[in-house]
Amino acid sequence: MASSLWGGRFEKEMDELVKEFNASIGFDQRMYQEDIDGSIAHVTMLAEQGIVSADEAECIVKGLEEIRQDIHSGKLAFTVDDEDIHMGIERHLIERIGEVGKKLHTARSRNDQCQVDGRLYLRHQIDEIQGRLKQLLEIILEKAEKYADEISIGFTHLQHAQPVTLGFIFMAYFQMFKRDVQRLQDCRERLNYSPLGACALAGTTFPTNRQRTAELLGFAGPTENAMDSVSDRDYSLEFLSCASISMMHLSRWAEEFTWWNSSEFSYIELDDSFCTGSSIMPQKKNPDMAELLRGKVGRVYGDLMQLLTVMKGTPLAYNKDFQEDKESLFDAVDTWKSSITIFAKMLEKTEFRVDQIRSQLGKGFLNATDIAEHLAMRGIPFREAHSIVGRMVKECEKENCSLEELPEEILCKIDNRLSKDMLGDISIPACVNARISYGGTAPSEVRRQIAKEREWL
Ligand code: ARG
């Protein structure tokens, strides 16, 4: 008989290389708290159902709590012989409390156990990540309030498009990260069901109470089908999808930070504490945090792809392939958490160089659409108005002037219905202030958005 907890039918010990290759203890010990919580709920239920005695349960719970303390304080360290966190804790429990410890693994399997751990772990991480996202949203709101009236440039195709307020740009990103919080909430609600008691794949002959363990662990209820419970990882995939989308949002804003920070734009001054220097060029102050944030998304997409690929084509029910569900998940959790926090701090400390932004407002005919709209409101069909303003822009380029500077006689030449009067007030602030449509960029409208989102937050 081999020495492992499952060694009864084996004559030989595991090959050392196999032991290393097989073990997940190196990474799944991260879930020791969840594993112990799951075991305590399980043995509590076993006692309530009369499957173990109250004394036995008490002894097991006490042993588990001691193990929790010892892991926490670093007194208890695992080795590859422990195979995974579930066997590691069980082995230490048996060593510590003796024979009674062998009763803990009644009416459960590592197949459901690792799923309980995974779901509890993610539930906890989701709460934490939502908290971090909300801190970021708070900073965005503060910035949006501060710059609600400050006029900036809205780009399409990275070309000057229309004037918008800086507050409006912040609120655009607010919506993305708000949806990230909500998406995580959906993910949390769907994963918050307990697989405990599904056992290896088919349930058990013991008179267990899965509703009770679900309740003890704060799940909304037990999962419905034992085979599904041990064999899908869609909740992790959903989490990784949420992470990928949110990291994509961060990378987009990080990209804007890098060009806002460029010598050509100089819209922002990054805080020294968020930049690095060059080992050769003494003048350099590089936006490394923004670039790293832009790049980190690659890891998280990779994490999602890794697990999607692991799961593809796997038959029911549990397969050892599924042990490969953890490292990428942990990597995504760590990367996402640190990215949100770094980004939030970078944003908080960034100085917006409004004078520099203002000095660019005269370029790129930002008010062209507004003129077309004014003409359309005065009875010229919009398509025609669009073409008239297009010709005005062409004249401006020839004359090297702005739209408001085009002389009356050129206006008349373009279209005899045109006059300075007809163009109305096309100053950049007037254009911004007039965009009061719901969700538009007018400061009044941005303030409405801020008030609404503050309420939500
Ligand atoms: N370490 C394993 C995992 O993470 C636990 C489940 C092992 N189950 C088994 N039948 N070998 O997937």
Q: What is the pLDDT of residue 4?
A: 87
Tell me, using a 6 A CB cutoff, whether residue 114 lines ligand 1: yes
Please confirm, yes or no, whether 249 is among the known catalytic residues: no
Same domain, 95 and 239: no
Domain end, chosen from 302, 332, 355, is at 355
Lowest mean pLDDT among 108-117, 211-220, 373-382: 373-382
Q: What is the pLDDT of residue 452?
A: 98
**Can you tell me the mean pLDDT for 189-202?**
98
Domain harbouring 53, CATH code? 1.10.275.10
The residue whose CA has the least distance to atom 2 of ligand 1 is 323
Could you tell me if residue 424 is inside a domain? yes
Distance 318 CA to ligand 1 centre (A): 8
Q: What is the pLDDT of residue 339?
A: 98
Question: What element of type H or E holds 428?
Answer: helix 428-433
Tell me, using a 6 A CB cutoff, whether residue 310 lines ligand 1: no
Domain end, chosen from 355, 384, 418, is at 355
Tell me, using a 6 A CB cutoff, whether residue 323 lines ligand 1: yes
Testing ligand 1's pocket by substitution, the residue of 316, 320, 329 carrying the most ligand atoms inside 8 A of its CB is 320
Tell me, using a 6 A CB cutoff, whether residue 152 lines ligand 1: no
Same domain, 435 and 294: no
Residue for token pair 């965009």: 435
173, 254 contact by CB (below 8 A): no
Distance 343 CA to ligand 1 centre (A): 37
**CA gap 335, 342 in Å, rounded:** 11
Tell me, using a 6 A CB cutoff, whether residue 165 lines ligand 1: no
Same domain, 66 and 177: no
How many Cβ atoms from other residues are within 10 Å of residue 265's Cβ?
Answer: 16
Q: What is the 3-state secondary structure (H, E, C) of 261-300?
A: CCCCCCCEECCHHHCECCCCCCCCCECHHHHHHHHHHHHH
Same domain, 308 and 396: no
* pLDDT digit string, tens, across residues 10-66: 999 999 999 999 999 999 999 999 999 999 999 999 999 999 999 999 999 999 999
Domain count, the chain: 3
**Nearest alpha carbon to residue 392 among 377, 358, 381, 375:** 375
Same domain, 229 and 350: yes
Distance 280 CA to ligand 1 centre (A): 51
106, 51 contact by CB (below 8 A): yes
| Mean pLDDT, rounded, of the chain | 96
Distance 327 CA to ligand 1 centre (A): 14
**Can you tell me the mean pLDDT for 391-406?**
93
SS3 content of the chain, % helix, strand, coil (to 5): 65, 5, 30
Distance 88 CA to ligand 1 centre (A): 12
Q: What is the DSSP letter of 433?
A: H
* pLDDT digit string, tens, across residues 225-260: 999 999 999 999 999 999 999 999 999 999 999 999
Whether the ω angle into residue 317 lies within 30 degrees of 0, i.e. cis, is: yes
Atom of ligand 1 at shortest distance to CA of 83? 1
Which region, left, alpha or beta, applies to residue 438 given φ > 0 means left and ψ of -120 to 50 means alpha? beta
Tell me, using a 6 A CB cutoff, whether residue 110 lines ligand 1: yes
Provide the percentage of residues in the chain whose pLDDT is more than 70.
100
**CA gap 175, 190 in Å, rounded:** 23
Phi, psi dihedrals of residue 352, rounded to the nearest 5°: -90, 120
The residue whose CA has the least distance to atom 4 of ligand 1 is 323
* pLDDT digit string, tens, across residues 287-298: 999 999 999 999
| pLDDT confidence band for 387 (50 / 70 / 90) | very high
63, 96 contact by CB (below 8 A): yes
Q: What is the pLDDT of residue 191?
A: 98
Contacts of 449 (CB under 8 A, 6+ apart): 144, 171, 174, 439
* pLDDT digit string, tens, across residues 70-80: 999 999 999 99
Q: What is the pLDDT of residue 419?
A: 86
Tell me, using a 6 A CB cutoff, whether residue 105 lines ligand 1: no
Q: What is the pLDDT of residue 403?
A: 92
Domain harbouring 428, CATH code? 1.10.40.30
**Nearest alpha carbon to residue 159 among 402, 293, 360, 294:** 360
Could you tell me if residue 70 is inside a domain? yes
Distance 22 CA to ligand 1 centre (A): 10
Angstrom CA distances, 435 to 17, 123, 151, 373, 403, stand at 68, 42, 13, 11, 19
Could you tell me if residue 399 is inside a domain? yes
Q: What is the pLDDT of residue 117?
A: 98
| pLDDT confidence band for 190 (50 / 70 / 90) | very high
Provide the percentage of residues in the chain whose pLDDT is more than 90.
94
The residue whose CA has the least distance to atom 12 of ligand 1 is 323
Residue type, 295: G
41 CA to centre of own chain: 30
Q: What is the pLDDT of residue 35?
A: 98
Could you tell me if residue 111 is inside a domain? no
Residue range of the domain that includes 265: 123-146+165-355
Tell me, using a 6 A CB cutoff, whether residue 113 lines ligand 1: no
| pLDDT confidence band for 385 (50 / 70 / 90) | very high
Q: What is the DSSP letter of 404?
A: G
Residue type, 239: F
Residue for token pair 């109250």: 54
Could you tell me if residue 5 is inside a domain? no
Could you tell me if residue 348 is inside a domain? yes
Q: How many CA atoms lie within 13 A of 253 on its CB side?
A: 23
**CA gap 59, 99 in Å, rounded:** 11
Higher pLDDT, 394 or 419: 394
* Pairing outcome for strands 268-269 and 159-165: unpaired
What burial letters (b/e) apply to 303-323, b meaning 16+ CB within 10 Å? Answer: bbebbeebbeeeeebbeeebb
Distance 233 CA to ligand 1 centre (A): 13
Q: Which of 3, 53, 262, 278 is catalytic?
A: 278
Same domain, 231 and 268: yes
Contacts of 244 (CB under 8 A, 6+ apart): 297, 300, 301, 303, 304
Q: Where are the beta strands (DSSP E) in 312-360?
A: 351-352
Angstrom CA distances, 277 to 280, 284, 289, 346, stand at 9, 5, 12, 17
Same domain, 171 and 84: no
Same domain, 373 and 435: yes
Q: What is the pLDDT of residue 423?
A: 84
Same domain, 372 and 347: no
Domain harbouring 300, CATH code? 1.20.200.10
Please confirm, yes or no, whether 278 is among the known catalytic residues: yes
Could you tell me if residue 345 is inside a domain? yes
Same domain, 332 and 208: yes
**CA gap 374, 376 in Å, rounded:** 5
| pLDDT confidence band for 327 (50 / 70 / 90) | very high
Domain end, chosen from 306, 325, 355, is at 355
Angstrom CA distances, 351 to 260, 266, 270, 342, stand at 11, 11, 6, 16
* pLDDT digit string, tens, across residues 417-457: 888 888 888 899 999 999 999 999 999 999 999 999 999 99
Angstrom CA distances, 154 to 161, 165, 270, 342, stand at 6, 8, 21, 26
Tokens for 202?
A: 């088919």
Residue for token pair 């380029």: 397
150, 167 contact by CB (below 8 A): yes
Taken as a whole, the chain contains a residue count of: 457
Task: Give the chain's end-to-end CA distance (angstroms, integer).
Answer: 60
Indicate the pTM of the whole model. 0.95
Could you tell me if residue 117 is inside a domain? no
Phi, psi dihedrals of residue 153, rounded to the nearest 5°: -110, 130
**Can you tell me the mean pLDDT for 393-416?**
92
Same domain, 190 and 287: yes
Same domain, 341 and 404: no
Angstrom CA distances, 110 to 90, 113, 121, 195, 231, stand at 11, 5, 16, 11, 12
Q: What is the pLDDT of residue 424?
A: 84
Q: What is the pLDDT of residue 50?
A: 98
